[in-house]
């Protein structure tokens, strides 16, 4: 089976080929390039599954021959800039194999769904759409298998570019290009920190590899053990600093506070694109990067605590905003921000398995919810305001039941997938939080967000599907075809059952060995040394505390989160599951305006740009033009002025030159005479 | 009767100064060339006088070299003057001032 990895590059290359094909021949192809994308992502999916099976068989790929080498690195210089080799290579371990399957599966389903969502709706510019989709999938898959930080960074950027292309797909409107630019710029702002972080790591440790003996993780660990001083900081602090720099990119791409503002605007893109971005590609890329570099972050409790706190805060912050939105996609957008907050919280408290588990479950149920909302939008003739809907339950049963499965998973109702992973995140946060007040605060915010999640999720479900139809379109919805229903069914089943791969609480209480994902990530099948859950767990030096025993804590945590989720769902049921729901949110008064306007995040960022950065830039510009340019121009003006005088001796008359020559000679003679003592 | 070397030096100086004066004041290229010849010959007078004074032939040999060089220089100089005349219809050295910066 070893040669399975020979085909691994093809996983990423297939969508790249689809990109080229759709771009060049898309116009002439049936369905405008859709089938190229479907075949390519389907091929990627099959190969990814093969990788999964191969990894399960105990094989991994890392530190093998790089696919492409940029700079080999001088063998003479062991460390420093000379010694770094930059290459493209593959790292296929349990984590990336799992992620490959998630990404290619969601991409495949999104391609299929697009047949119904884009082709059947008579959209124009479809070759461009499918080409971008292919490039997006390619970038993400290549990012997933990247074996070093530089390669990861490059594909991270490419993912950002693709999001720009796709969010701005309807470039003739005013809002879509603006949203695309916003997404690109906000995430790029984070990526600047990432780039500095990459350079800092490369310069410090002389390597950018993720795994193996000569990875920067191992080098950092050695530096901390040696008590080395790096760039004037002790090793631990330096790891924290570089880790946080890289985290800047993560916060941007994964839309964590305060870089989350691009994501709700990104709803301007086609819904299928939202499904891909939110479930499996761009937004997931940030969290995946944290998981990929987990060994590095594990070395720094400070960085982890910051990740956990930002995650917990974002989870709550975004969830509260989701409560008052009227646009079905906006609700899902805030839900995405909130859910990625949970993943960050999980990873930040050292719950590697919990974070990855939630990443996986979220990919399925959020893709489902977005595609479901896409189906609703088709049903409603491109109406997105939930207040215009209602009563779709009976008219579109497939959409309803699959959407409901996604909603139950999102809200975290047992036994749907989201419950298991969210509960594991919260449990990990709680046991660490009992010893660490900062993390306890993050946990509390995450826990509170569960209530809001349950509330906004079911508010969305009830407003959309229950009650009486509130408009004529809702009474007579447009039908949807198999290409919309099939992906929904696949994802609906996954949303319901994906949680069963890691029933940690039941495994613990009943003593059964059914925490499959934990075993998987712990390398019980195949693993790269150092990249296992156990290795991380030993590095993360968090103390764990329990209320009573571990079992009681676990039940308490699960009970609390389930209770809150049910309470949220019940509150939504009371308020909105009536034939003629009202806008209860407006009764909140001032709080409603604050929530509706997203805590004035955009306003304050605009203020930051216009009120602070712009005057600062103007002052810098003035300084540049007067002092810096003044100095440069002054020098040139001076020499120009001087030369305008000096050039007058250049008459072109031989006589004058001869006279000058003679005068000079006489002067020289006189000077020599004076110094030589002739007079 | 031998003439003291100072007289030769004085003669040479006079010739050189006349030549220099010509170079600095004359505008006719031909007179210019003649003035340069005069300065060269002032140097020759010096060379021969000192050779005689010191009793060896080195100075005289150098004087021959200088004459050869002067002949060559005249050949080049006349060429330049011909081109000058062809281009400017004049042998006034103050007219062609285009060869500056």
The predicted structure's pLDDT at residue A105: 92
Q: Torsions phi, psi of A513, nearest 5?
A: -100, 70
Inspect the interface and report whether the beta carbons of B32 and A654 lie closer than 8 Å.
Answer: yes
* Closest Cα in chain A to B26: A655
User: Which is nearest to A145 in space by CA: A59, A61, A39?
Assistant: A61
The answer to whether the CB of A247 falls within 8 A of the CB of A256 is no
The pLDDT of residue A585 is above 80: no
Burial of A230 (0-12, 13-18, 19+ CB in 10 A): buried
Residue A87 carries which DSSP code? E
User: Stretch B47-62: mean pLDDT, rounded?
Assistant: 90
Cβ-defined contact of B96 to A652 (cutoff 8 Å): yes
Residue A525 pLDDT: 78
Tell me how many helices (H) and strands (E) chain B has: 3, 0
Q: Which of A81-90, A239-248, B90-99 has the highest mean pLDDT?
A: A239-248
This model of the complex carries an ipTM of 0.78
> Comparing A357 with A520, which gets the higher pLDDT?
A357
CA closest to A652 among chain B residues:
B97
Residue B97 lies in a domain: no
What residues have CB less than 8 Å from A322, skipping those under 6 apart? A330, A331, A334, A335, A338, A452, A453, A456
Give the minimum alpha-carbon distance from B99 to chain A in angstroms, rounded to a whole number: 6
- Stretch (H or E) spanning A309: helix A301-322
3-state secondary structure of A650: coil
Measured CA distances, A325 to A104, A212, A386, A518, B35 (Å): 31, 47, 9, 37, 102
Cα distances (Å, whole numbers) of residue A494 to A393, A417, A465 = 21, 8, 21
Give dist(CA A29, CA A32) in Å, integer: 5
Dist CA A170 CA A268 (whole Å): 8
The rounded mean pLDDT for chain A is 85
Tell me if B94 and A653 make a contact (CB, 8 A cut-off). Answer: yes
Residue B93 lies in a domain: no
**Rounded to 5°, angle at Cα A407 from A406 and A410:** 85
Task: Show the tokens assigned to A77.
Answer: 């210089």
The 3-state DSSP class for residue A274 equals helix
Residue A40 token pair: 């390519």
Express the helix, strand and coil content of chain B in percent, nearest 5 each.
75, 0, 20
Backbone angles phi, psi at A237, to 5 degrees: -65, -40
pLDDT in tens, A451-464: 999 999 998 888 88
- Tokens (6 digits) for A296: 């590095």
User: Tokens 């009943």 — which residue?
Assistant: A510
Residues 6+ positions from A561 with CB-CB distance below 8 Å: A412, A419, A422, A423, A426, A447, A450
List the Cα angle A402/A455/A323 in 5-degree steps.
105
Residues A75-93 have pLDDT tens digits of: 555 555 556 778 888 888 8
* Ordered alpha helix ranges (H), A469-600: 472-475, 482-497, 504-510, 516-521, 533-539, 550-576, 590-596
Task: Tell me whether residue B100 is in a domain.
Answer: no
Range among A200-209, A349-358, A471-480 rated most confident:
A349-358
**C-alpha A550: how far from chain center:** 33
Question: Considering only alpha carbons, which residue of chain A is nearest residue B36?
Answer: A658
Please give the Cα distance from A253 to A265 (Å, whole number): 14
Task: Give the confidence band of B99 by pLDDT, cuts at 50, 70, 90.
Answer: low
Predicted pLDDT at A507 = 81
SS (H, E, C) A588-632: HCHHHHHHHCHHHHHHHHHHHHHHHHHHHHHHHHHHHHHHHHHHH
**Average pLDDT score over residue span A196-217:** 85
User: Domain containing B10 — which CATH number?
Assistant: 1.10.287.3510
Contact A282, A217 (CB under 8 A): no
Task: Tell me whether residues B27 and A655 touch, CB distance under 8 A.
Answer: yes
CA distance B87 to chain A (A): 16
**Residues whose CB falls within 8 Å of the CB of residue A165, separated by 6 or more in sequence, listed in order:** A128, A132, A135, A180
β-pairing verdict for A229-230 and A86-88: unpaired
Q: Are strands A68-71 and A86-88 parallel, antiparallel or unpaired?
A: antiparallel
Query: Inter-chain contact B24–A647, Cβ cutoff 8 Å?
Result: no
Whether the CB-CB separation of A313 and A329 falls below 8 Å is answered with no
B82 or A472, which is more confident? B82
Angstrom distance (rounded) from CA A500 to CA A415: 9
The domain total for chain B is: 1
Q: Given an 8 Å threshold on Cβ–Cβ distance, is A655 in contact with B24?
A: yes
- The string of DSSP letters for A461-482 reads HHHHHSS---SHHHHSPPP--H
Burial A115-130 (b: 16+ CB within 10 A, else e): bbbbbbeeeebbbbbb
Question: Are A653 and B97 a contacting pair at CB < 8 A?
Answer: yes
In-domain check, residue B74: yes
Nearest to A336 by CA among A368, A308, A307: A368
For A662, the closest chain B residue by CA position comes to: B20
Gap between the Cα atoms of A161 and A179, Å rounded: 13
- Quote the DSSP letter at residue A393: T
Rounded-to-integer distance, Cα B101 and Cα B99, Å: 7
Confidence of residue A207 (pLDDT cuts 50, 70, 90): confident
Per-residue exposure over A615-628, b if at least 16 CB sit within 10 Å of its own CB, e if not: eeeeeeeeeeeeee
**Helical ranges in A168-234 per DSSP H:** 175-205, 216-226
A325-339, A434-448, A585-599, B3-17, range with the lowest pLDDT? A585-599
pLDDT in tens, A605-658: 888 888 888 999 999 999 998 999 999 999 999 999 998 888 887 777 778 888
Interface size, chain A vs chain B, as Cβ–Cβ contacts under 8 Å: 28
pLDDT at A1: 44
Residue A245 pLDDT > 60, yes or no? Answer: yes
Chain B CB contacts of A647 under 8 Å are 101
Q: What percent of chain A has pLDDT over 70?
A: 97
Task: For residue A270, give the 3-state DSSP assignment.
Answer: coil
Average pLDDT over every residue of B71-77: 92
Model confidence at A45, pLDDT cuts 50, 70, 90, reads: very high
pLDDT at B62: 92
CB–CB contact B101 A650 (8 Å): yes
What the block records as the tokens of B89 is 């219809």
Of A341, A342, A346, A347, whose CA–CA distance to A296 is shortest? A347
Burial degree of A664 (CB within 10 A; 0-12, 13-18, 19+): exposed
Give the minimum alpha-carbon distance from B85 to chain A in angstroms, rounded to a whole number: 16
- Start-to-end C-alpha separation, chain B: 56
CA distance B86 to chain A (A): 18
Taking only the tens place, the pLDDT of each residue in A121-143 is 777 888 888 899 899 999 999 99
Of the candidates A191, A200, A193, the residue with the CA atom closest to the CA atom of residue A84: A200
Strand, helix or coil for residue A578? coil
- pLDDT value at residue B101: 53
């Amino acid at each position: 089976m070893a040669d399975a990895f020979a085909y691994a590059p093809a996983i990423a290359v297939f969508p790249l080929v689809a990109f080229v094909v759709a771009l060049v021949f898309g116009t002439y192809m049936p369905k405008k390039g859709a089938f190229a994308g479907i075949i390519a992502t389907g091929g990627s999916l099959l190969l990814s599954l093969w990788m999964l099976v191969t990894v399960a068989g105990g094989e991994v790929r890392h530190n093998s021959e790089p696919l492409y080498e940029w700079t080999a690195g001088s063998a003479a210089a062991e460390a420093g800039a000379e010694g770094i080799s930059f290459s493209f290579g593959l790292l296929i371990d349990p984590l990336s194999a799992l992620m490959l399957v998630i990404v290619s599966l969601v991409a495949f389903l999104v391609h299929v769904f697009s047949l119904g969502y884009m082709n059947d709706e008579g959209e124009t510019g479809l070759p461009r759409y499918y080409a971008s989709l292919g490039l997006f999938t390619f970038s993400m898959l290549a990012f997933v298998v990247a074996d070093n930080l530089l390669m990861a960074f490059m594909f991270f950027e490419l993912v950002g570019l693709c999001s720009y292309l796709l969010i701005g797909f309807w470039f003739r409107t005013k809002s879509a290009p603006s949203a695309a630019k916003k997404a690109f710029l906000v995430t790029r702002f984070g990526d600047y920190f990432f780039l500095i972080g990459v350079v800092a790591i490369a310069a410090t440790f002389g390597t950018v590899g993720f795994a193996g003996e000569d990875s920067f993780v191992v080098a950092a660990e050695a530096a901390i053990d040696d008590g080395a001083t790096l760039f004037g900081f002790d090793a631990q602090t330096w790891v924290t600093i570089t880790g946080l720099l890289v985290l800047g990119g993560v916060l941007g791409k994964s839309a964590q506070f305060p870089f989350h503002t691009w994501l709700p605007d990104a709803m301007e893109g086609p819904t299928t694109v939202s499904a891909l971005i939110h479930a499996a590609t761009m937004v997931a890329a940030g969290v995946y990067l944290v998981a990929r570099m987990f060994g590095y972050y594990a070395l720094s409790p400070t960085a982890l605590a910051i990740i956990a706190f930002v995650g917990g805060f974002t989870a709550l912050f975004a969830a509260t905003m989701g409560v008052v939105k009227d646009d079905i996609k906006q609700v899902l957008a805030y839900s995405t921000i909130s859910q990625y907050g949970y993943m960050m919280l999980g990873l930040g408290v050292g719950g590697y398995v919990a974070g990855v588990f939630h990443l996986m479950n979220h990919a399925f149920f959020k893709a489902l919810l977005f595609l479901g909302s896409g189906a609703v939008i088709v049903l409603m003739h491109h109406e997105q305001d939930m207040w215009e809907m209602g009563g779709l339950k009976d008219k579109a049963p497939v959409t309803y039941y699959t959407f409901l499965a996604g909603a139950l998973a999102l809200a975290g109702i047992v036994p749907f997938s989201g419950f298991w992973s969210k509960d594991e995140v919260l449990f990990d946060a709680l046991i660490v939080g009992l010893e660490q007040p900062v993390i306890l605060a993050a946990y509390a915010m995450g826990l509170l967000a569960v209530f809001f999640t349950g509330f906004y999720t079911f508010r969305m479900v009830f407003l959309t599907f229950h009650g009486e139809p509130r408009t004529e379109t809702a009474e007579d919805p447009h039908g949807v075809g198999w290409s919309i229903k099939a992906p929904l069914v696949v994802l609906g089943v996954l949303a319901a059952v994906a949680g069963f791969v890691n029933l940690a609480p039941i495994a613990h209480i009943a003593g059964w060995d059914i925490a499959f994902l934990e075993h998987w990530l712990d390398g019980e099948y195949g693993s790269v040394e150092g990249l296992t859950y156990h290795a991380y767990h030993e590095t993360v030096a968090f103390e764990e505390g329990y209320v009573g025993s571990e079992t009681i804590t676990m039940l308490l945590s699960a009970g609390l989160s389930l209770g809150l989720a049910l309470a949220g769902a019940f509150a939504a049921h009371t308020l909105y599951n009536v034939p003629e729901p009202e806008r209860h949110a407006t009764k909140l008064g001032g709080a409603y305006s604050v929530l509706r306007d997203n805590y004035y995040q955009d306003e304050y960022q605009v203020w930051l740009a216009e009120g602070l950065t712009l005057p600062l830039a103007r002052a810098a510009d003035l300084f540049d033009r007067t002092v810096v340019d003044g100095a440069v121009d002054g020098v040139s003006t001076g020499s120009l002025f001087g030369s305008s005088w000096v050039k007058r001796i250049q008459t072109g008359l031989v006589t004058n030159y001869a006279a000058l020559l003679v005068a000079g000679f006489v002067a020289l003679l006189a000077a020599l005479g004076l110094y030589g003592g002739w007079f | 009767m031998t003439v003291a070397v100072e007289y030769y030096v004085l003669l040479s100086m006079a010739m050189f100064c006349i030549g220099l004066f010509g170079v600095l004041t004359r505008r006719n290229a031909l007179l210019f060339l003649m003035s340069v010849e005069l300065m060269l010959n002032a140097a020759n007078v010096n060379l021969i006088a000192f050779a005689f004074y010191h009793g060896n032939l080195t100075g005289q040999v150098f004087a021959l070299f200088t004459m050869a060089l002067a002949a060559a220089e005249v050949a080049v100089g006349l060429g330049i003057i011909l081109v000058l005349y062809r281009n400017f219809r004049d042998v006034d050295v103050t007219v062609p001032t285009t060869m500056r910066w």
